[in-house]
Chain A
């Protein structure tokens, strides 16, 4: 697999000269095409900031982010908007669906914004809805469906344009365990069957166990990384718990 995303010494500071908060200190890593990468860390470790920088919603203070060789830190706002709609798909903790549109229209909006011909739109929505098992709720409004269904709709919207990179920020954060499990299975299937590259930020070990590699962040830096390799999901989960124990409950914290 070739490298699809490359982060080079990313730094992100907030505040002014007298009072600087370093959210991301110095992070570099690469993501292979078709990889399912998890980013974990305690609250305030910089994982959402990192995701926002990759997703071009936020800008970096220093460093470079390259997607398929294109440096996205040096693009102007117009190009960035185009880049976002052509290359990235987003899934957020709070779904980010529009309450004024039906589920089907929410998905269609992403296609319409990408100027997909009208006659292809409905066909593609039906196909994606079938894959994500939301065909029967297409004509309902977001407030008429469950959280899990909403998040699958958000996934469908994120994937409908075949993005190079799917970015998920705590996608299971607002879901019950059953819905969370269904969503994660769906994401795994998308990763395996469609070959989608996924970066998922989470603080939940169970959610993270669906990924193939996990980056652990602590205080804005990479603490360690963990590969699933040929492990079962259960074994991988145990390894994650061990690392989390190490991060959150190390000797220095006890003393």
Chain B
């Protein structure tokens, strides 16, 4: 009998919780698909130079961690289900069923639904894993073939993970059902949700925000004290003062508000009692509270702009703040934006009410009264949830936006870095005696390659010189000298990389630049270095004064973006400070051999030697392997995380409308009885859902756009060097498209289900 009840209930619930089930299926599908590449049975053909295990391990932990977020959704939906079913439970209890049994029945039916979602998810996951394989092989630049496989260890892990999640949440529910009193269950649907004005949510948010405003003020004063200079341009002045005055304004506004409230209360103490009886007292308080929030909101927007302008100002006016200061301002932008979300959602309700009050024309037009009633009631009781949804959505959109930036950055950086198959380099940063400078030829590396049958196509050992030996002891970060390379060595390297040869006249020099260097930096340097004095005499800048082809990072001195190219005769008279060796092989070095060579090199040339010279080896096989694995894990986790966060938010938004369909059915039935046409009812439903989905989505898009702009601004140099703004915009547009598609899917399905549940 009980089994029949469980099955019947589960069948009925499937209809009501369709959106939740579809979301769970999507999540299981993604989980299985991403985890399939960590399976022991997964062997994609990525070539001998790649080791796939590095990727698999990272993926497993990252995906499981992200998926834990789903527990929140499962718990939320179960909680909602429990609340809406309480009356039914009460009837069962009154009929004599033990509460323990009722709890178990509820647990069983939610579990059955969960199992269905897991089964469907794994089924679709088989297809999904093909998509992931395609993604993997594309990132390893290999062609892709479809192969249908079910990975038993991944299936077990998926089932284990989700079943455990359902059991954990189920046990909580069991406990709740057992503890709750029958009388409370019977009257559950009669209880109103706690009213917003009684909730402590906004006051707590304001107190926390005021505390952080005090921190921002202190931070602003400190930055002003240490970094301000009267000669700065006007926008920089505004930024500095804004970062002090705006937090101060926030604090003063609140203090002023408190004084006004206190004075007002004292003045009309006896009037208040009368007003309270008429119910207008609380409205008055609410209005004044809205005034406080509005003031703070204005300040927070301005403050966010001021703080967010920091990286832009730094780039434009060459300000140099430490990383610590930058992070502090980034934090204050985040805090401002979080407050902005809370305030906008809170004020949206007050705004609608105020607008409704002020415009009778609008209020009494068609079904507007009904529409505003629907929106304000729901908003006032779900303020906190809406705020959390907004913040989470903003985070998801931000992840979607920055994933291509980070991936492009890492990919572009890899291309610049791994120019040679073997790249041996040295650094003199800790060498204080000239006789300790590196003079080795690293011959054993060439021997190792020869022994292992790896043919070398190009091989060059070269020195990097200090133009003036007196600069040898310059070791302050921004004071490191730019080093020089001889023209013949430079030309050999250019030949290795397939670039055309260059030539120089006697007593001429030219420059070679890192990809990351900006045009402004180059121009500044070239303007001030038309002529340089070296230990071998003065040299003038050649007509073709700069080359920007990527030649790897180890060609440059620490903290510098340029290398000077001198005629060989000049270099012979200079002090060589670093010795590098670059090798390009005819065939790729396999992962195992590369790993062995790296180990061998580190044992012979440790990173820190007694002489102070730091040696290093970069093998493109290893660099590509590690970066690609990291990139893939990063990309997968960010996209997976963004999709999970997004679907959680959209599911909650959708369920909040669908699970209250009982109330709505009644309200729309009243409307129909009053003679509202079906067409107008449908229009109302669309408007209601539009606002419900639109408000959090628009706020989240705005907030995430601000954060993304801030982020892109602070890494603009890397973006233009490694990705290009055009490509980035294209990628952002594509991810935006995916986002809109997801949103549309949820919106349309909610709309259809909602229409059918409030239908006649």
State whether these chains interact: yes
Query: Which has the most chain B C-beta neighbours within 10 Å: A85, A92, A109, A110?
Result: A109
- Nearest chain B residue, comparing its CB with the CB of A120: B364
Question: A98 and B675: CB pair below 8 A?
Answer: no
Let me know if A131 is at the binding interface, CB within 8 A: no
Let me know if B373 is at the binding interface, CB within 8 A: yes
| Given A112-B366, A118-B364, A143-B192, CB of A100 within 8 Å of CB of B675 | no
Let me know if A204 is at the binding interface, CB within 8 A: no
What is the predominant secondary structure among interface residues of chain B facing chain A?
A: helix
Using a CB-CB cutoff of 8 Å, which residues 359-387 of chain B contact chain A? Answer: 360-370, 373-374, 376-377
Question: A81 and B279: CB pair below 8 A?
Answer: no
- Nearest chain A residue, comparing its CB with the CB of B374: A100
Query: Which has the most chain A C-beta neighbours within 10 Å: B362, B366, B373, B674?
Result: B674
Contact of A111 among B192, B364, B368 (CB under 8 A): B364
Chain B residues, CB < 8 A from A253: none
Question: B674 and A100: CB pair below 8 A?
Answer: no
Q: How far is the CB of A93 from chain B (nearest CB, A)?
A: 13
Question: A81 and B675: CB pair below 8 A?
Answer: yes
| Given A82-B677, A98-B670, A100-B377, CB of A115 within 8 Å of CB of B369 | no
| Given A81-B672, A100-B667, A101-B369, CB of A118 within 8 Å of CB of B677 | no
Let me know if B678 is at the binding interface, CB within 8 A: yes
Chain B residues, CB < 8 A from A85: 674-676
A108 and B374 alpha carbons, distance in the complex (Å) = 15
Chain A residues, CB < 8 A from B669: 96
Question: B279 and A118: CB pair below 8 A?
Answer: no
Contact of B367 among A86, A112, A121, A157 (CB under 8 A): A112
Contact of A77 among B363, B366, B377, B678 (CB under 8 A): B678
Question: B373 and A81: CB pair below 8 A?
Answer: no
Chain A residues, CB < 8 A from B363: 108, 112, 118
Interface size on B, residues (CB 8 A): 30
Let me know if A192 is at the binding interface, CB within 8 A: no
Using a CB-CB cutoff of 8 Å, which residues 670-694 of chain B contact chain A? Answer: 670-679
Chain B residues, CB < 8 A from A210: none
- Nearest chain B residue, comparing its CB with the CB of A114: B675
A78 and B362 alpha carbons, distance in the complex (Å) = 24
Using a CB-CB cutoff of 8 Å, which residues 72-94 of chain A contact chain B? Answer: 77-78, 81-86, 88, 90, 92
Question: B376 and A81: CB pair below 8 A?
Answer: no
Question: A112 and B368: CB pair below 8 A?
Answer: yes
Using a CB-CB cutoff of 8 Å, which residues 642-692 of chain B contact chain A? Answer: 663, 667, 669-679
Question: B677 and A78: CB pair below 8 A?
Answer: yes
Question: A81 and B677: CB pair below 8 A?
Answer: yes
| Given A98-B670, A100-B377, A140-B279, CB of A113 within 8 Å of CB of B366 | yes
Question: B377 and A84: CB pair below 8 A?
Answer: no
Q: What 0/1 readout, one digit per residue, does chain A (117-159) give for beta carbons within 8 Å of chain B? A: 0110110000000000000000110011000000000000100
- Nearest chain B residue, comparing its CB with the CB of A136: B278
Chain A residues, CB < 8 A from B367: 109, 112-113
A96 and B668 alpha carbons, distance in the complex (Å) = 11
Chain B residues, CB < 8 A from A113: 366-367, 671, 674-676
Using a CB-CB cutoff of 8 Å, which residues 40-92 of chain A contact chain B? Answer: 55, 57, 77-78, 81-86, 88, 90, 92
What is the predominant secondary structure among interface residues of chain A facing chain B?
A: helix
- Nearest chain A residue, comparing its CB with the CB of B669: A96
Chain A residues, CB < 8 A from B370: 98, 100-101, 109
Let me know if A170 is at the binding interface, CB within 8 A: no
A143 and B373 alpha carbons, distance in the complex (Å) = 14
Interface size on A, residues (CB 8 A): 38
Question: A115 and B676: CB pair below 8 A?
Answer: no
Let me know if A235 is at the binding interface, CB within 8 A: no
Contact of A122 among B360, B366, B373, B663 (CB under 8 A): B360
Question: A112 and B279: CB pair below 8 A?
Answer: no
Question: B670 and A112: CB pair below 8 A?
Answer: no
Chain A residues, CB < 8 A from B362: 118
A99 and B362 alpha carbons, distance in the complex (Å) = 21
Chain A residues, CB < 8 A from B671: 113
Q: How far is the CB of B719 from chain A (nearest CB, A)?
A: 49
Q: How far is the CB of A199 from chain B (nearest CB, A)?
A: 15
Chain B residues, CB < 8 A from A99: 377, 663, 667
Query: Which has the most chain B C-beta neighbours within 10 Å: A98, A105, A118, A139?
Result: A98
Question: B373 and A112: CB pair below 8 A?
Answer: no
Q: How far is the CB of B385 from chain A (nearest CB, A)?
A: 18
Question: B364 and A108: CB pair below 8 A?
Answer: yes
Question: A112 and B675: CB pair below 8 A?
Answer: no
Chain A residues, CB < 8 A from B192: 143
- Nearest chain B residue, comparing its CB with the CB of A86: B675
| Given A109-B674, A110-B674, A113-B367, CB of A121 within 8 Å of CB of B360 | yes
| Given A98-B670, A108-B369, A112-B367, CB of A81 within 8 Å of CB of B360 | no
| Given A118-B360, A143-B192, CB of A112 within 8 Å of CB of B369 | yes
Chain A residues, CB < 8 A from B279: 139-140, 144
Let me know if A116 is at the binding interface, CB within 8 A: yes
A112 and B370 alpha carbons, distance in the complex (Å) = 10
Chain B residues, CB < 8 A from A110: 674
Q: How far is the CB of B514 from chain A (nearest CB, A)?
A: 63
Question: B673 and A98: CB pair below 8 A?
Answer: no
Chain B residues, CB < 8 A from A98: 370, 373, 667, 670
Chain A residues, CB < 8 A from B675: 81-86, 88, 113-114
Question: A118 and B373: CB pair below 8 A?
Answer: no
Question: A112 and B364: CB pair below 8 A?
Answer: yes
Q: How far is the CB of B448 from chain A (nearest CB, A)?
A: 79
Chain B residues, CB < 8 A from A77: 677-678
List residues of B whose CB falls within 8 A of some A CB: 192, 279, 360-370, 373-374, 376-377, 663, 667, 669-679
Provide 18 A-B residue pairs closer than 8 Å at the C-beta atoms, listed in order of the A residue: A57-B673, A78-B677, A78-B679, A81-B672, A81-B678, A82-B677, A86-B675, A92-B673, A98-B370, A101-B373, A108-B363, A109-B367, A112-B367, A113-B367, A115-B366, A119-B360, A121-B364, A157-B674
List the 7 shortest-distance A-B pairs measured between CB atoms, nearest first.
A85-B675, A100-B373, A84-B675, A118-B364, A81-B677, A100-B377, A101-B373
| Beyond known contacts A82-B677, A109-B367: 15 more, CB 8 A cutoff | A82-B675, A83-B675, A84-B673, A85-B674, A85-B675, A90-B674, A96-B669, A98-B373, A100-B373, A108-B369, A112-B368, A112-B369, A113-B366, A115-B366, A157-B674
